[in-house]
Structure 1
């Protein structure tokens, strides 16, 4: 579009120059012929003819004539309707620009080039490529459509009006650049086997017409930010698929990717082998032991169990690099279990030590319900004891072993009555009143004469 604007400005400058040159020639291109005749009745007929040399600048001009005549005391004028004259002129300037798409062009796009000239009527155009000027491209009117372009379609395109044949060459030009990004090329390719502890440098490149950016991914996480990926001191965690993605920052729709699968080869590596496993379990119970080993080729796992004949493997599974096994062991005595992980590169073991704990019979805990029963029994026994004591005292009283009567005053205790003593007077017969005094403390009975 920038070239399009430049061509427009150039055309305006040329038009202004032509106007300035034609101003001096205005007098030469205009000629007016006027004929006046008088009729027998005294009327006048005026006929005026304009001879005008038309130019391209007059394509939008309108022409009309004006008549002036005298009336008593004034001069009047009348104007005819105006007319526009269609002017045919050859094309002297042509513009060519990229109509679509907007912005940069990439391989696979559909491109439209539009051509426009200043001739009237608008002439048909022929399109060609500067590298192949004799090959006419298939176009429709002033539009050239290039479908699914590739890098070979890049170049300078031209358009020419058909009415310029035999004249000085009039044409429009535009530069078309089709950008591209080739498939990514990864080294090493597809699959690479390396030993544990080795180093590896992988590269990812893609040919492009624009500046590119490369990012490496493993399991969806970014692990590198350039076309070179360094893998140092390889471990089993290094194994996996590495994907490189190449993009064009200035043209995001251009992108490509490649990958390499890394396999780290080495002897078995048992998870947690550096820690001695010591367990305690109650005798008679079952315990599960788990063993996981990594390596390539995938290791096989076997068990050697001493101290128990009752055991079995309850789970076994293996993937490309990991083998997992679990056994269930009944603990009757102290047990020593050994997990053996083996492949073509070596062997590694892991030991489990299980100490059997004897079963212990425990005294059942105190029950609140049972405790309540014991309390009730104790209360009953106390009541029975009190009842027996009361019977003995009553027997001794009947035998006279405990002196007590109305005629004599016997003191059971030397303590004086206190204010806390309770005196109860009971009347049985109005004629013969007996007062019985009851002490709340010692229970002594006294007659009315003893007061």
Structure 2
């Protein structure tokens, strides 16, 4: 039983020597720190610290003395020891993967602390090489080779499509790997080859490969596949109007896409090379119909569409210059023909918008002008114009006079006619003013100072004839309308004076007769007084009459 326990203890000790070692992982090419006794503090009474490896000693440090390098091989210039008694190993290589032992010599015993060193190195670079020129749908193709250079241990490479991992399924995806060891450094380059069977949706796919910490640049591929469908499109404003430009384009879903097509324009075949478009300019309603496009090398691959060209026609009578006489009738005839619903935008006369279509049942000079009508439908705009001239012998519409100050009179003559009438007066005057000739009407003003009562004529004339009117112009004092209040006052005064004189004469005559009866005088005396009274009355009447004339 005791021998059995001793054997178990020996096996456990041997196992710990192999598997219970401390492990330090260092990076290739760098300085690696290997701690002694996991960095625990060393006893103060140590006689010596020594670092060694399987094939010999590396360095020693006696108590109270400096470190002494005892290695004679390539470690001579690469090893040192820090203050914590850790071994410093510079420019680590794969050959440094071994067990290093720290030995502590004390007064009563010797302790050893072995440490296993492992070297790691990430790939220097990861890249996709030997890329395929293109991928053909349904055909297995070597997409590329992903290489992870100079790694240790060998890198594991993973392929990705659109950031999703690709797994070898021995069908559309096959992945194989190889490894190459550098004889000098011992570093390993791994090459992973991806064979891939593309699908149409891979047209815009992005492929990458990578290791745990390093990835390649993304790459994409041209995916080729035959045309399965073509489509015809019209590039133009909708709806299509007469006068527009129609561009047809024929698209195919193949890759690379076809470069030449046949366009069938209303039954006529047009071959277009190195382009997928065909353009028709200034199209008309006759272009309405069926259009097709097809592959030049496969007429069965075809697509078609119906195209409608909208139109708008408008006619107006009259459509040019028309001359009519005043009082006549002019009929307007507007006709619109369209493929859709037209909109009557506006009627204008001399660029001024009218509320509605004009009617000319009895033409006047004011109807003269340039008329325009606008009709629209979508982007189509149609306009029609005519110019109307209403002519006739000039007619005086109004002849009046106005007072200006105490002595001046302003004569106003308003006339209509076409061509433009000229105005003349039978008297001379000043400050003659003529208004602008608008809508066949002209106004002429003349200022005069009448010395006597006058009959003044206004005459208007043009090449078709003339007309004239008269107006009575009196001096300021005799003008009936100049002082109505004065006339009324004079008339009242005359009437009152006549009544007073008559009453006075009657009283006087009566008194005279009574006096003769009383005194017995003859009536001859009273007759003479009566005559004197009559003379005074006549003088009074004549005086009042003169006042009235003034």
1:256 paired residue number: 382
The Cα offsets for residues 42-74 of structure 1, whole Å up to 9 and x where unpaired, read as: xxxxxxxxxxxxxxxxxxx9522589xxxxxxx
Distance 2:419 2:342 in 1: 38
User: How much does 1:206 deviate?
Assistant: 5.0
Distance 1:302 1:120 in 2: 92
Which residue, out of 363, 366, 378, partners 1:237? 366
Root mean square deviation, CA, Å: 3.8
1:282 paired residue number: 406
1:292 paired residue number: 414
1:339 has 2:465 as partner: no
The Cα offsets for residues 242-268 of structure 1, whole Å up to 9 and x where unpaired, read as: 1111222xx1x3212121222223343
User: How much does 1:234 deviate?
Assistant: 1.9
Distance 1:268 1:220 in 2: 27
1:314 paired residue number: 432
User: How much does 1:108 deviate?
Assistant: 3.7
Distance 1:208 1:218 in 2: 25
User: How much does 1:146 deviate?
Assistant: 2.9
For the 8 Å contact 2:322–2:386, the answer to whether it is kept is yes
The Cα offsets for residues 316-347 of structure 1, whole Å up to 9 and x where unpaired, read as: 58858344433332233444422122453562
1:80/1:129 Cα in 2 relative to 1: closer, same or farther (>3 Å)? Answer: closer
Distance 1:316 1:303 in 2: 13
1:325/1:137 Cα in 2 relative to 1: closer, same or farther (>3 Å)? Answer: farther
Which residue, out of 319, 326, 343, partners 1:196? 326
For the 8 Å contact 1:244–1:257, the answer to whether it is kept is yes
The Cα offsets for residues 75-117 of structure 1, whole Å up to 9 and x where unpaired, read as: xxxx96352448865433221112x224222334333222222
1:156/1:332 Cα in 2 relative to 1: closer, same or farther (>3 Å)? Answer: same
Distance 2:470 2:359 in 1: 33
Which residue, out of 187, 194, 198, partners 1:81? 194
For the 8 Å contact 1:127–1:157, the answer to whether it is kept is no
Matches within 5 A, 1:267-278: 267-273=393-399, 276-277=400-401
Q: The residue matched to 2:398 in structure 1 has which SS?
A: coil
Q: The residue matched to 2:366 in structure 1 has which SS?
A: helix
User: Structure 2: where are the runs of 5+ without partners?
Assistant: 1-170, 178-191, 199-221, 479-550
Distance 1:129 1:280 in 2: 87
The Cα offsets for residues 109-163 of structure 1, whole Å up to 9 and x where unpaired, read as: 3332222223344233423235334x31446432223344344443322111234
Q: The residue matched to 1:282 in structure 2 has which SS?
A: coil
Distance 1:280 1:314 in 2: 14
User: TM-score if structure 1 supplies the norm length?
Assistant: 0.50
Distance 2:364 2:274 in 1: 65
User: How much does 1:172 deviate?
Assistant: 0.9
For the 8 Å contact 1:88–1:120, the answer to whether it is kept is yes
User: Structure 1: where are the runs of 5+ without partners?
Assistant: 1-60, 68-78, 359-451
Distance 2:352 2:294 in 1: 56
Distance 1:318 1:120 in 2: 77
Which residue, out of 399, 421, 424, partners 1:302? 424
User: TM-score if structure 2 supplies the norm length?
Assistant: 0.42
1:217 paired residue number: 348
1:333/1:87 Cα in 2 relative to 1: closer, same or farther (>3 Å)? Answer: closer
Q: The residue matched to 1:237 in structure 2 has which SS?
A: helix
Equivalent pairs, count: 272
1:144/1:352 Cα in 2 relative to 1: closer, same or farther (>3 Å)? Answer: farther
Q: The residue matched to 2:231 in structure 1 has which SS?
A: strand
For the 8 Å contact 1:151–1:180, the answer to whether it is kept is yes
User: How much does 1:185 deviate?
Assistant: 3.0
User: How much does 1:231 deviate?
Assistant: 1.5
For the 8 Å contact 1:186–1:205, the answer to whether it is kept is yes
For the 8 Å contact 1:270–1:293, the answer to whether it is kept is yes
